[in-house]
Amino acid sequence: MNPYRIVVADDRFNGNYEQEREALSGLEYEFVVCREDMPPQEFLSIAQEADALLVNLRPIPEETISHLRRCRIISRYGIGVDNVDVEAATAAGIWVSNVPDYGIEEVSDHAAALLLACARLIMVKDRGIRVGKWNHTAGLKAFRLHGKVLGIVGYGRIARAFHRKMKGFGFARTLVYDPYIPSEEISRAGGEAADLFTLLREADYISIHAPLTKETRHLIGEREIGMMKPTAVIVNTSRGAIIDQQALQRALEEHRILGAGLDVFEEEPLPKDSPLRDLENVVLSDHSAYYSEESLVDLKRKAALNVKETLLKGRPLYPVNNPGS
C-alpha cells in the first residue's frame, strides 16, 4: 500500500509539526508542508494528489476542491470553516472537520482583555507615557463597567466562557443575541435574550462571538453601528467580516462610538495603510486570540487526529459535514 499523502496547505507554524506527527503515529504517510505565500496553482499541483489537507487560513474554494482527486478530508486548524467551501466538499464526498473545543479560555480571555483595554484607555496611556506624556488620554473618556449593560452577539462555547468571566464586573444586565439558542437557556445562564437591534441600542459594551456565515457577513453595518450609544465599545474576536470594517472605521474617526477592540479584520494581515492603525480609540491585535502554548498543542493534535480517524475509520472526530448523507 502506498503511503497516505497529507498536505499542510499553509505553513503558519514555521515547520513545527511535532504534535501532528505524534498524533499520526501508526500511519504510513508522507507529510508535505506548503508555504503560506505559495501561489494557488503551485499549491494545487501539490494538493491534487493529497489524501488529506490540513488547512489554516488558505482559502479552499470550489475550484480547488474540484481538482482534489483522492482527498478524503479537509481538516481545519480552528473552529470556523468559512475559508472552506463546505457545500462543494460535501458534494465531492470529502469530509470537513474542525476543532470546536480548543482555545475557549484563550479567546474569551482575549475578548475580556480587549474590552478592558478599551474601557480603561490602556493603550492610549501606554503610548502617551512612552513619549513623555502624563495624565494624557487624547480627549477620550473612560466609563465604569459596574452597573452597565453588556451585549453578547452569538452564544456558543467561547461566548459563554466570556459571559462567565465578565459576571464579576457587576454588569446590571447582559443582553444576548443568538437566534439559534432558546431564550430559556440564555436566561438560565444569567442573560436576557434580545433581538440584535435592542442589544445594539441598549448595550454599553458589545462582544462579537458569532461564526461567519452568509447570514452574519456584515451583520454589523452602517445602520447597526448608527444604533449604538456614542459611549459604546465593540469588541470582535470572531471574524472580521461580521463587521463592515469601513463603516466601523468611519464611526471611530467621527467619534460616533467610544472605541473598538479588534483581533480580526476583513483583510488579513491588516494593510499597512489601514486608517485603523492611526486611530487612538481602537485596540488592535493580530488574529491571535486563540493563542497560548497549551491551546496550540490541542489545536495541532486534534486537527491531525481528525485526519487519522478519517483515513483509518472513515470519519473525523469533529465532523462539520456529512458527505455520505
- Counting the structural domains of the chain, the total is 2
User: Which amino acid, one-letter code, is at 312?
Assistant: L
pLDDT of residue 1: 65
pLDDT band at residue 325, thresholds of 50, 70 and 90?
confident
pLDDT in tens, 112-135: 999 999 999 999 999 999 999 999
Give percent of the chain above pLDDT 70: 100
pLDDT in tens, 41-91: 999 999 999 999 999 999 999 999 999 999 999 999 999 999 999 999 999
89 shares its domain with 153? no
pLDDT in tens, 215-257: 999 999 999 999 999 999 999 999 999 999 999 999 999 999 9
Residue 325 domain flag = no
Is the pTM here over 0.85, yes or no?
yes
Residue 126 grid cell: 501606554
Residue 321 domain flag = no
User: Which amino acid, one-letter code, is at 3?
Assistant: P
Yes or no: say if 72 and 311 are a contact pair by the CB < 8 Å rule.
Answer: yes
pLDDT in tens, 193-212: 999 999 999 999 999 999 99
Known catalytic residues are 239, 268, 287
Q: What are phi and psi of 208, to 5 degrees?
A: -95, 125
94 shares its domain with 115? no
Residue 324 domain flag = no
Domain extent, residue 173, equals 104-284
pLDDT of residue 215: 96
Give percent of the chain above pLDDT 90: 98
Distance CA 253, CA 134 (A): 24
pLDDT of residue 248: 98
